[in-house]
Structure 1
Amino acid sequence: MGFFDVHFGQQELIHAVVPLLKLLSLTVIGILLAHPRTQIVPKSTFKLLSKLVFALFLPCTIFIHLGQSVSVQNLALWWFIPVNVIISTVIGCLLGLLVAVVCRPPPEFFRFTVIVTGFGNTGNLILAIVGSVCHDGSNSFGPECHTTGTAYVSLAQWVSVLLVYTLVYHMMEPPMEYYEVVEAEDGEIEIVPENLPVNDLSRPLLHEAEWPGMDDKETVHCKTPFIARVFGNVSDFSETSLPDPDLLHDEVHEPPRSPKSIRCLAEPRMVRKIRIVAEQTPVRHILQPPTIATLLALIIGMVPFLKSIVYGDDAPLSFFTDSLDIMAGAMVPSVMLVLGGMIAEGPNETRLGTRTTIGILVARLFVLPTLGIGVVLLADKMNLLIQGDRMFRFVLLLQYTTPSAILFGAIASLRGYAVSEASALLFWQHVVALFSLSMFSIIYFKLLLMY
């Protein structure tokens, strides 16, 4: 019996660690290629590779595997996946608030500390882990390991990306305390930086990895405290440059409405403020190639007629899906090479403080996964999960284990707030995650083998 326990532990260790060692090897290759001392591959090549991942390899992976697995019945069983993203985000933000209170970062980074602890990477990194785990034919998740795992991760991305483009975008607006309201010569009200900390606004490689072409997404309000102006004490000033809907009339030169009709049709002030903020929310950018691929896969996969045409060995368009499958094979190595290139750049300077940085690392990479185990076990006891599906549980657990979302760094760069701090934190999180992921993978495999 003792020999069996030892053998069982060794096999468990191999199944948990070897997939991560494969990813680590790819990352090291990326570091060697991009390191400043070697300069074998220039930074511009890694940026091009990151764009290929974003626009081609990742959409192909999602379209192939999600479309094959999804159906109306399956979608009804997978409802806990997006819910788990929200739960992990809420718990992470509460941990971030605790870190901010205990570690006391500089005041301008209090909100930043909460957000960066709460929002994890639910996309590329988890897909790479799933792909590496499923690469071995003797894996513990069955022959459909890669297809089902990718489908689960792809479904979770919808909620995560939506939260980033709405909640994170607005929470990352520069603090109003570091801006000053001034009146220009033409009478317009301007918001200018007063004592805002200076950040390096260059585009690091890791920002390009999740949001290529960020320069085209900038608006006039990106790097200003827009919500604080709209809802704060300077809201009246900030709205002076906006057209007043109460004074507008039709463009066909109709006579102005009477004061009584204007009062009836007037938009309430609070409704107007909410509308103005909604118009400045970049939610339209959610329709990026990966999310478009997810939408197409869901539509085709849930319509049996369309699914029979696109997916399957005998499908008329099988030659097309096979070509996409070939390109999807480049996703995992490309993601890890780009990650290696990001690590080779090294950490930026940060004013967050060593105590706060360590607090975020411990909360995000060690405390949150521990709490995530409790959440998943509780959901399992409440029969909220698919019975007997180990991959379903594995993906749920990974959502608590990954570092902060790389897209978070892109949002920081877009808003011009805590850019260097975001880059430094993402660097250290991914370095520490190489160890924390290995540790928790062993724990997860031990738990999953009980099913």
Structure 2
Amino acid sequence: MKLLDLFITSSIPVVKILVITAIGFYLALDRVNILNQDARKHLNNIVFYVFSPSLVGSSLSETITYESMVKMWFMPINVLLTFIIGSFLGWIVIKITKPPSHLHGIIVGCCAAGNLGNMPLIIIPAICNEKGSPFGDPETCEKYGLGYIALSMAVGAIYIWTYVYNLMRMLANPDRETPILGTSSTMPLIPPKHVEEQFGTWSKIKQRVCSAAEKINLRTIFAPSTIAALIALAIGLVPTLRKLLVGNTAPLRVLGESVSLLGEGAIPLLTLIVGGNLLRGLRGSGIQRSVILGVVVARYVLLPITGVLIVQGAHHLGLVTSEPLYQFVLLLQYVVPPAMNLGTITQLFGSGESECSVILFWTYALASVSLTVWPTFFMWLVA
């Protein structure tokens, strides 16, 4: 594939997202006032409870089987590594740029959570259908590529709504430190020996465990997208359920098709919301340029380099098959822009929407460069 053809192929999905973002921006203007703050809040709730779970469930149930799961066992580990390494890079960005404390969660979230859904869903079919693609027959390439992406998207949704959501929540609302004993002068003084007996080692451990449990919102561990992913995995892995719900001859295929139809609305709605939030951000988010630059460097320079080392190392150790397309998808997980769901999370928190939208806007604007240069190198590496 020629470099110019690859540039055009890689830029198309980014341009599509930027166009839809611009529409959302226009709808949020005061003179239009269709996508105002209340409308965005309600849309976020619909995306959270209906569209995102439908997208995850339909994509995963249609493509995942027991055989494919055995083949792709390393992918959940790979996605988890992108989140952990991204979190560490986000922490470095915070230490270097020293932003306000309410931005810490947003920065870590943008560095940790990548867009493992709609971006690869557009990129992979486009590359597969391009002339001179190194991945062979377009139909076979697209079929297996969408299967890889479906698992990647489902696993990513689970990590976002368990790991990233709670991490952003804790960083956005850190608990204030309070003394164990009262400091008021009216409080009776307690001898140190008595204090030691009352708050022994076991009590301290118990107290810390309870404190950590309070910080984690257990409801989000079973968020709608997580539940949808688990149900879809059951449908894909249990032959009886798969025959009932998946395929043109399935007796209950209307249920699966209805869920798939709902899922198709997730991507444009998420992108419109980001565009609407961007208006507020441009009016005065006050975010430092160094923060945006730090997130861009973390996601588009440091994370892809780390990804190359990890995937190539796993292949050398025999943990990853030699199939070029599979390796390409694993590498692509390290170079995608931040997840659109981060805008939904900040909207649910009611804080940081404008700053998050500004970061998302610039990272997606620069994604056309990143998603051209790195995929070119990845294809050369795996071919």
* Cα separation, partners in 2 of 1:148 and 1:358, compared to 1, 3 Å: closer
Residue 400 of structure 1, CA deviation:
4.4
* Cα separation, partners in 2 of 1:35 and 1:158, compared to 1, 3 Å: same
1:79 and 2:73 aligned: yes
CA distance in 1, matches of 2:245, 2:95: 53
Residue 296 of structure 1, CA deviation:
0.6
RMSD over equivalenced CA pairs, Å: 3.4
Superposed, which structure 2 residues align to 1:176-215 within 5 Å? Answer: none
Specify which of 357, 362, 368 is matched with residue 427 of structure 1.
357
Residue 96 of structure 1, CA deviation:
3.4
Residue 319 of structure 1, CA deviation:
1.7
* Cα separation, partners in 2 of 1:361 and 1:89, compared to 1, 3 Å: same
Instruction: State whether residues 373 and 397 of structure 1, in contact with CA within 8 Å, keep that contact through their aligned partners in structure 2.
Output: no
1:306 and 2:261 aligned: no
* Cα separation, partners in 2 of 1:356 and 1:129, compared to 1, 3 Å: closer
Match in the other structure for 1:390: 325
CA distance in 1, matches of 2:103, 2:265: 39
Instruction: State whether residues 369 and 400 of structure 1, in contact with CA within 8 Å, keep that contact through their aligned partners in structure 2.
Output: yes
Counterpart amino acid of 1:381? H
CA distance in 1, matches of 2:203, 2:161: 31
CA distance in 1, matches of 2:149, 2:251: 26
Instruction: State whether residues 82 and 159 of structure 1, in contact with CA within 8 Å, keep that contact through their aligned partners in structure 2.
Output: no
Counterpart amino acid of 2:117? L
Query: Tell me, which stretches of 5 or more residues in structure 2 are unaligned?
Result: 136-140, 184-197
Specify which of 120, 123, 141 is matched with residue 113 of structure 2.
120
Per-residue CA distance 1:332-373 (angstroms, 9 max, x = gap): 222222222222322475676444453344334443334333
CA distance in 1, matches of 2:211, 2:331: 36
Match in the other structure for 1:163: 163
Counterpart amino acid of 1:86? L
Match in the other structure for 2:379: 448
Give the count of matched residue pairs.
Answer: 355
Instruction: State whether residues 22 and 275 of structure 2, in contact with CA within 8 Å, keep that contact through their aligned partners in structure 1.
Output: yes
Name whichever structure is richer in helix by fraction.
2
Match in the other structure for 1:235: 180
Percent identity for Structure 1 against Structure 2: 22
SS at structure 1 position matched to 2:117: helix
Counterpart amino acid of 2:226? T
Residue 386 of structure 1, CA deviation:
3.8
Counterpart amino acid of 2:70? A
Instruction: State whether residues 54 and 260 of structure 2, in contact with CA within 8 Å, keep that contact through their aligned partners in structure 1.
Output: yes
Instruction: State whether residues 394 and 444 of structure 1, in contact with CA within 8 Å, keep that contact through their aligned partners in structure 2.
Output: no
Superposed, which structure 2 residues align to 1:344-355 within 5 Å? Answer: 344-347=279-282, 349=284, 353-355=288-290
SS at structure 2 position matched to 1:401: coil
Could you state the TM-score of these two structures normalised by the residue count of structure 2?
Answer: 0.78
Per-residue CA distance 1:243-273 (angstroms, 9 max, x = gap): xxxxxxxxxxxxxxxxxxxx9xx96442243
Residue 37 of structure 1, CA deviation:
4.2
* 41-50 vs 57-66, which moves further: 41-50
Match in the other structure for 1:329: 264
Superposed, which structure 2 residues align to 1:39-58 within 5 Å? Answer: 39-58=33-52
* Cα separation, partners in 2 of 1:395 and 1:338, compared to 1, 3 Å: farther
Residue 389 of structure 1, CA deviation:
5.2
Match in the other structure for 1:270: 205
Instruction: State whether residues 62 and 154 of structure 1, in contact with CA within 8 Å, keep that contact through their aligned partners in structure 2.
Output: yes
SS at structure 1 position matched to 2:322: coil
CA distance in 2, matches of 1:18, 1:297: 30
CA distance in 2, matches of 1:119, 1:58: 19
